[in-house]
Copies of this chain bind each other. A is one copy, B any other.
Amino acid sequence: MVTIKDVAKEAQVSVATVSRVINNQGYVHEDTRAKVEKAIKALQYRPNNVARSLFKKKSKMIGFIVPDITNPYFPQLVRAVEDVTNKAEYTTFLCNSDEDLKKELMYLEKMQENHIDGAIIVSNTLELEHVERLNLPIIALDRFFHNSIPSVTVDNYNEARKAVRFLLENGCKKIAHIKGPKYIENSILRQKAYEDEMNEQNMPLIECEGEYHLKDSEKAFLELLKQNPDIDGVFAGNDVMAVGALKAARRLNLSVPEDLSVMGFDGIEWTETVSPEITTMAQPIYEMGKRAATMLLELIDGKRLDDVHVVYDTEMVIRESAKRR
């Protein structure tokens, strides 16, 4: 391994001078700079970020904890975060938590050990103290975490109400809801929105559990449809489950949207791959990831955040599965 010392020797200067050249700071004569740069090139020298981190207590690395990268919602987020942090010369550690507290804690420790400069987390299981004791800039993404932790989310409740209202306005008489997991904040808010909207219209609640998964949703909703053949609309807690609903409908030879209107939430690409394409409340996913990353970098730079809790609206993307009458 070629070190700063080797470069110094090659260029016949001191290590300090080399350091000045690398970091582009302090005075250094043009001629010496040229000599050093030549030596660097000749030796193919790359500064050792580990040594640098040790001294600076800044690693230029950030952590990102997501529940499960194979859930199509998250890759977009990861992409956005990486695009932003990268431009600022940061690298990103990715961690899959499986919504498992133990794993999350393990990852936090690892991050701490590696001296990361900050982290973005998508979690409902971690508690404030776990995060606070890192004593590091943290941004909560996709899910609100705690008042004292800056966050980037969508207005799940109000946007979900809009979704249900859309089904109502278009003449659906019996609207079901496919719920997500009980322990996920988002999921609860979307469910509550459905219930409040329905109650306000004095309409009966018909629900089943889809666990944010395709197969679970398909199965549960199939049962629900069998028991309630007059269901003519469904609001799924996320797009993955909306696809499940579509599959269930197909099994019973129901036409969408003629017999059944299907409404999703999230705006993932799946909604465009299926037929009919699914109407959904699209989150500005990439934008959210970008924002969270930008905020994190600001915190790392010691700046203060303009908005601590950023809440986005969704965009209702009307497609085939539920449309204006």
A contact set with B: CB distance below 8 Å: 1, 44, 46-51, 53-54, 57, 59, 61, 68-70, 72, 74-76, 78-79, 82-83, 91-96, 109-110, 112-115, 133, 214, 243, 246-247, 250, 269-270, 272-275
Interface hub of A49, A59, A269 (most chain B Cβ within 10 A):
A49
20 contacts across the A-B interface (CB closer than 8 A): A46-B109, A46-B112, A47-B113, A49-B113, A49-B115, A50-B50, A50-B53, A61-B93, A68-B79, A69-B78, A69-B82, A72-B72, A75-B75, A78-B94, A82-B95, A82-B96, A93-B93, A214-B269, A214-B272, A274-B274
Contacts of A272 in B (CB 8 A): 214
Q: A51-B54, A74-B75, A247-B275 are in contact. List 16 more A-B contacts (CB 8 A).
A: A46-B112, A47-B113, A48-B54, A48-B113, A50-B59, A50-B115, A61-B93, A61-B114, A69-B69, A69-B78, A70-B79, A72-B72, A214-B269, A214-B272, A214-B273, A270-B270
B-side contacts of A59, CB under 8 Å: 50
Interface centre among A68, A70, A76, A92 (most CB of B within 10 A): A70
- Do A44 and B133 touch (CB < 8 A)? yes
Complex CA gap A224/B33 in Å reads 60
A215 nearest in chain B by CB position:
B272
Most buried by B among A57, A76, A269: A269
In angstroms, Cα B72 to Cα A98, docked, is: 18
The answer for the CA separation of A243 and B93 in the assembled complex, in Å, is 32
With a cutoff of 8 Å between Cβ atoms, the chain B residues found around residue A70 in the complex are 75-76, 79
